Chains A and B, each alone.
Chain A
Amino acid sequence: MFVKAAKAISPQYTLDDRFLNGEFVDEVSPVYRAIEPDYSPLIPAGLLRRMGKAVRIGIGAGLPLLQEAGKVDGIILGTANGGLEDCVKFLNQIVEYDEGVLTPTNFVQSTPNAVAGQLALMSENTGYNSTHVNGSLSFENSLIDAAMLLEEKQQATILVGAIEEFSQYNYTIDKHAGRFREIPVSNSQLTKRLEPGSICGEGSSMFIVSNDATDAQVEIIDVAQVTSEDEKEVEATLIDFLIRNQVPADEVKTVALGRNGDARTDHFYTAISNRLTSIESTICFKAYCGEYRTAAAFGLYTLFQLSKHPLLDWNGNQLHFIGNYALVYNHFDGIRHGYILVKKLR
């Protein structure tokens, strides 16, 4: 599965060149919120006024890619929670109005497949349309679905991606569960100051993938996942994954790690890094995008960009895609672990 193009709406300026040029948003904040563009050239006002944030950022990143790619054979997205704000509004209305008359818009916008559906409507795409809602492995499962679809077809192009929006309601629950910190920390310090919890983020990352390698920057070789709290099992899954793909561990020289500054589960990243004995380039992508359940998609986005040109780290040093192979490794809660093996083509 070859990646031809990518776009992201994130807490960084990823829709223009500022992120690529090292102009990072570095704010002390309890939430790293997505920076939304002016949607008016892209989305008619009549549609925009109904859209929740998840739909907006999904369209904002996905529709330009669809317009550039022309006809695509499918749209496959992953999201753990979809339009959560609208969902909470809708559920509250059920209680507030005693299961009486309910507004349709909140319901329509809150379903997780609203984004893929709206993208299909706006691009007049009648192909395969699927949304994977598998918690923090939603994006990994979207990639597996895309790979299977590409195996079925002789020549196909697919939009694949992930979306997650910030919801105050869910944030409060997650914070009570210890996932997010009481004291905010800046992006640049997130992974340097290990404490219990992380900082909440949000965003959408979209990719045009194909089984045709022409003009592709990178190839997604394989995807693996495991649900486990056992570090040894997490390491063993990586080793099996590499063996299955006939990639020696010392040939993976570039990694995108989901380190999120959480002192309780950071050891998984250290363990995986130690298994890959020849790492020369590491990008910790959650310092840019914050923690959310489909943040691995932003990890893949950073690797894709790294394959085209160097990125700067927080100290102004250049990061490169070194070697032929790279790994996106991410986990959520130290329980659900995803691995995406990537090969640089040119």
Chain B
Amino acid sequence: MSNESLKLEFKEHLINYLNLLDTTPEQINDDEALFGGDLGLDSIDSVELIVLLDREYGIKIKNPQEGRQILVDVNTIVAYIEANRTK
């Protein structure tokens, strides 16, 4: 899967898992901060994201420090998925 296709797929999962009403993948910029930005995600969403990565890509994030560096924006997450996915 190309990087662009993976980004689109991840954004669709993001919208679905976080129930981001009225948001389309096109409206989420790749370098837009997920937390503290316009999306308005919070700590519960970070747990939902960890569940998303586990279920969809077989990635387990156990270290909170590691999570802070990964769950920054779509670019950082997709890069991590490409490097670490098990499914």
Interface of A with B (CB < 8 Å)?
A: 45-46, 48-50, 97, 100-105, 108
Do A104 and B21 form a contact, CB below 8 Å, given A46-B40, A46-B42, A97-B55? no
Q: Which residues of A contact B18 (CB under 8 A)?
A: 49
B54 adjacent to A100 (CB under 8 Å): yes
Within 8 A of A (CB), among B18-54: 18-21, 40, 42, 44, 47-48, 50-51, 54
CB nearest neighbor in A for B39:
A46
Q: Is the interface of B mostly helix, strand, loop or mixed?
A: helix
A103 adjacent to B40 (CB under 8 Å): no
Q: Which residues of A contact B50 (CB under 8 A)?
A: 101
Additional A-B contact list (10), CB under 8 Å, known A45-B21, A49-B19, A101-B51: A45-B40, A46-B40, A50-B44, A101-B50, A101-B55, A103-B17, A103-B51, A104-B47, A104-B48, A105-B44
Contact residue among B20, B21, B42, B48 (Cβ-Cβ distance under 8 Å from A103): B48
CB nearest neighbor in A for B18:
A49
Docked complex Cα distance between A170 and B55 (Å):
27
What are 17 A-B pairs at a CB distance below 8 A? A45-B21, A45-B40, A48-B21, A49-B21, A50-B44, A100-B54, A101-B50, A101-B51, A101-B54, A102-B51, A103-B17, A103-B48, A103-B51, A104-B47, A104-B48, A105-B48, A108-B44
B54 adjacent to A104 (CB under 8 Å): no
- How many positions in chain B have a CB within 8 Å of any CB in the partner chain? 14
Docked complex Cα distance between A96 and B54 (Å):
13
Docked complex Cα distance between A97 and B55 (Å):
8
Docked complex Cα distance between A101 and B51 (Å):
6
Q: Which residues of A contact B40 (CB under 8 A)?
A: 45-46
Docked complex Cα distance between A165 and B50 (Å):
30
Docked complex Cα distance between A133 and B46 (Å):
31
Interface centre among A100, A105, A108 (most CB of B within 10 A): A105
B52: min CB distance to chain A, Å:
9
Docked complex Cα distance between A99 and B40 (Å):
30
Docked complex Cα distance between A114 and B55 (Å):
26
Q: Which residues of A contact B44 (CB under 8 A)?
A: 50, 104-105, 108
CB nearest neighbor in A for B23:
A49
CB nearest neighbor in A for B19:
A49
Q: Which residues of A contact B55 (CB under 8 A)?
A: 97, 101
Docked complex Cα distance between A123 and B48 (Å):
26
Docked complex Cα distance between A101 and B54 (Å):
8
CB nearest neighbor in B for A48:
B21
Q: Which residues of A contact B17 (CB under 8 A)?
A: 103
Docked complex Cα distance between A68 and B50 (Å):
40
Docked complex Cα distance between A104 and B20 (Å):
16
Contact residue among B20, B47, B51, B54 (Cβ-Cβ distance under 8 Å from A49): B20
Q: Which residues of B contact A46 (CB under 8 A)?
A: 40, 42
Docked complex Cα distance between A102 and B54 (Å):
10
Docked complex Cα distance between A263 and B68 (Å):
61
Docked complex Cα distance between A101 and B20 (Å):
21
Q: Which residues of A contact B20 (CB under 8 A)?
A: 49
Q: Which residues of B contact A45 (CB under 8 A)?
A: 21, 40
Interface 1/0 per residue, B56-82 and A, CB below 8 Å: 000000000000000000000000000
Q: Which residues of A contact B54 (CB under 8 A)?
A: 100-101
Docked complex Cα distance between A162 and B51 (Å):
33
Closest 3 pairs (CB-CB, A-B): A49-B19, A46-B40, A101-B54
A100: min CB distance to chain B, Å:
7
Docked complex Cα distance between A296 and B42 (Å):
38
Docked complex Cα distance between A192 and B18 (Å):
45
A150: min CB distance to chain B, Å:
36
A131: min CB distance to chain B, Å:
21
Docked complex Cα distance between A100 and B50 (Å):
12
